[in-house]
């Protein structure tokens, strides 16, 4: 198996680490701002997402040091739209998670055919992020609406 470009792979992994850490902060922040009757399950869902982002950040960080590189201490973009209705929160989540998904796809392209373990990791993360996006898309639909939310602007 030929070698992959380590500099490029570490660069993508560091961007992913920053994006996942931004997710931890973003979901935790959102979870403080949920009011109304459905607060309890929504807060719990948002905190689950924060925990999942932290787990992803830790897995990505471990890969960076496995490759003998230094993990970034930075954090990805933290936009605060100051719109705290669930629809705005979920749409922001779809957009930012979409960017992380693109980075995992970049990772897969860089390691495909070069490292079984990193390839497997990238595929697992792509699957997790796609399933997450599918869930958020369903949450953005009105009851009885089957058409995907993401397809609405097609």
Q: Which residues bind Fe ion (CB under 5 A)?
A: 56
Placement of tokens 């392209």 in the chain: 109
Q: How far is the CB of 32 from Fe ion (least distance, A)?
A: 21
Question: Given the complex with Fe ion, which of 96 and 115 has the nearer CB atom?
Answer: 96
Helices (H), the chain: 6-32, 39-66, 86-111, 116-140
Question: Given the complex with Fe ion, which of 26 and 56 has the nearer CB atom?
Answer: 56
3-state SS assignment for residue 12? helix
Q: Phi/psi at 3 (nearest 5 deg)?
A: -75, 150
Q: How far is the CB of 67 from Fe ion (least distance, A)?
A: 19
Question: Given the complex with Fe ion, which of 39 and 95 has the nearer CB atom?
Answer: 95
Q: How far is the CB of 46 from Fe ion (least distance, A)?
A: 14
């Amino acid at each position: 198996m030929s070698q992959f470009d380590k500099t490029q792979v570490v660069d993508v992994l560091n961007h992913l680490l920053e994006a996942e850490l931004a997710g931890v902060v973003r979901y935790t922040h959102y979870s403080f701002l949920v009011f109304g009757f459905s607060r309890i399950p929504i807060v719990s869902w948002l905190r689950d997402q924060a925990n999942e982002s932290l787990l992803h950040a830790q897995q990505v960080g471990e890969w960076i040091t496995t490759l003998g590189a230094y993990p970034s201490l930075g954090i990805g973009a933290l936009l605060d739209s100051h719109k705290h209705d669930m629809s705005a929160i979920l749409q922001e989540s779809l957009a930012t998670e979409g960017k992380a998904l693109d980075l995992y796809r970049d990772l897969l392209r860089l390691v495909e055919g070069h490292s079984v373990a990193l390839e497997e990791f990238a595929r697992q993360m792509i699957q997790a992020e796609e399933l997450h996006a599918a869930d958020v898309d369903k949450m953005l639909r009105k009851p009885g609406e089957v058409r995907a939310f993401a397809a609405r602007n097609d």
